[in-house]
Every structure is written in C-alpha cells, then in structure tokens.
Amino acid sequence: MRKPIIAGNWKMNNTKAEAEELLTALKPLVKDVKGVDIVVCVPFTDIEKVKKLVKGSKIRVGAQNVSWADKGAFTGEISAAMLIEAGAEYVVIGHSERRQYFGETDETVNKKVCKALAEGLKPIICVGEKLSEKQMGITEEIVCLQTKAALHGVSRTQLDEVVIAYEPIWAIGTGMTATPEDANQTIRAIRNAIRDAYGDVAQNIRILYGGSMNDKNARDLMAQSDIDGGLIGGASLVAEKFEKIVN
C-alpha cells in the first residue's frame, strides 16, 4: 500500500506572519489524521520559521526549488545543503511555472533531482502536458518522456524517496481539473514508464495529481486506483480547504 501525500505548494505566497497565521489554524485541524503524509512547500525565507511552527505536528516542510550545484558562483541560487539546514525535507522540482518562466528544462530538472537525492532531500518531481499537447493526443508521450528524463541516473534505492506529481498545465490555477478517470489513466502511464525502467518497484512510487485540486474534487480524485495524493496550490493557502483535503 502506498501512503498518500497531500502537499501544499504555497508558491510565492505567505510572509512569515501569514505563514504563522495559516499554520496556527491548520495544525489543530490535522492533528488526529492518520495514514497520510502532510507537506507544505514554502518560500525559502519561510522554511526555518515554518519548521519551528510545525514542530510536534505531522506536517513536514518542503522547498519549491533547489540548485543542481553544491556551492559557489551561482547568484540567486540555493543549495540542497542550505535547504536541509533550514529544515526542508522535500523539494518541488520542475514545476511548470519554473519551466515556463525560469527556463528549466528536462535536463536541468534531472540535474536537480540527482542533486536533491544525493544530499538527502525528497524530490517532488512535476510533469504535465500543455493544453495544445493534450489536444494533439500526446499527453502520455509527453509526461512519460519528462518522467524518464527526470529520473535519468537515479538508482533503484534512490527511487524510494521520489514522489512524482502529474500536473496538467492547463489545469493549474484555472479551476479546470482533469477528470479523475483521465488523471488516473495518465498516472498509470507514468507508473508503467517507471516500471519499464525499474521493474516492480514502480508499484511503490507515489504519484500525485495536481491542478485545481480542492476540497470539493479531492475525494473523487483520491478514489482512483493510481492517484496517491495531491499537490495543491490555491487551496493550500486556506487552512479549512487544505484540512478538508487532508482529512
């Protein structure tokens, strides 16, 4: 059995004071929940504060990006060691917003995944098709290619730490969700691609859905056989919505 993960992706939201307000509301609401990993992926400057705030709760902390380099002349970058020192356990890698606005490619995503794993961070690797790719009927080819590229050079043992998030780009922040059946079929294709490369351990890999997942549609999505959780943007910024998804 794969343990579900509900991960909030705060994106560039929440100052430290706002983070405190959100987590103070969220913590009591999720304190009795069992059988699910809860993660909040927060801006770099919030990590240390959030780590302190979630102490004693089941909430884990993640970042939203990591450098593929160890250290040195990489202005504006943050290393895996720095994230771990600040208190991050997970890191989102290759979100479509990073690919779209900050020039990330399958190649840099792969380098970041390898670095994160080597340093002991758990990557949440994002893959997903554009609307035009969906319309062309090449969704599965696109996401399987992204997955294989992201995992290039990742060992079978390291694979245990990997989480994949399938996020159709047209569904992110738009209120348009993939149907549970479509999302499940695409996620199954991703799992099959991992099986081709690694064998039956693919059965243990957690693959999340993301893209306008909320407190209303989470139940139907989570009821699907291959959907192991969610990467939640907008709805993770409201304690009562995020709590409903988790619970």
**Among all residues, which ones are annotated catalytic?**
95, 167
| Angle at 81 (CA atoms; ends 2, 26), nearest 5 degrees | 50
Instruction: Return the residue of 234, 239, 242, 246 that touches ligand PGA, per CB under 6 A.
Output: 234
Query: For 243, left (φ over 0), alpha (ψ -120 to 50), or beta?
Result: alpha
146 binds ligand PGA (CB under 6 A): no
- Backbone torsions φ then ψ of 104, nearest 5 degrees: -75, 145
Number of residues that bind ligand PGA (CB under 6 A): 13
233 binds ligand PGA (CB under 6 A): yes
Dmax over CA atoms of the chain, in Å, equals 48
Q: Which is nearer to ligand PGA, 87 or 233 (CB)?
A: 233
Residue nearest to ligand PGA (CB): 233
Give the residue ranges of DSSP H helices in the chain. 16-29, 47-53, 80-86, 96-101, 106-119, 131-135, 139-150, 156-159, 180-198, 218-222, 239-246
167 binds ligand PGA (CB under 6 A): yes
173 binds ligand PGA (CB under 6 A): yes
232 binds ligand PGA (CB under 6 A): yes
Q: b/e per residue, 132-156, with b = 16+ CB within 10 A?
A: ebbeeeebbebbbebbbbbbeebee
186 binds ligand PGA (CB under 6 A): no
38 binds ligand PGA (CB under 6 A): no
129 binds ligand PGA (CB under 6 A): no
Smallest distance from the beta carbon of 200 to ligand PGA, in angstroms?
Answer: 29
Q: Which is nearer to ligand PGA, 58 or 241 (CB)?
A: 241
106-119 and 139-150 helices, crossing angle to 10°: 40
Binding mask 197-216 for ligand PGA (x = CB under 6 A): -------------xxxx---
Taking alpha carbons only, the member of 70, 68, 113, 115 closest to residue 92 is 113
Binding mask 6-35 for ligand PGA (x = CB under 6 A): ---x--------------------------
Neighbours of 158 (CB within 10 A): 16
Instruction: Return the residue of 5, 231, 239, 245 that touches ligand PGA, per CB under 6 A.
Output: 231
Instruction: List residues near ligand PGA by CB under 6 A.
Output: 9, 167, 172-173, 210-213, 231-235
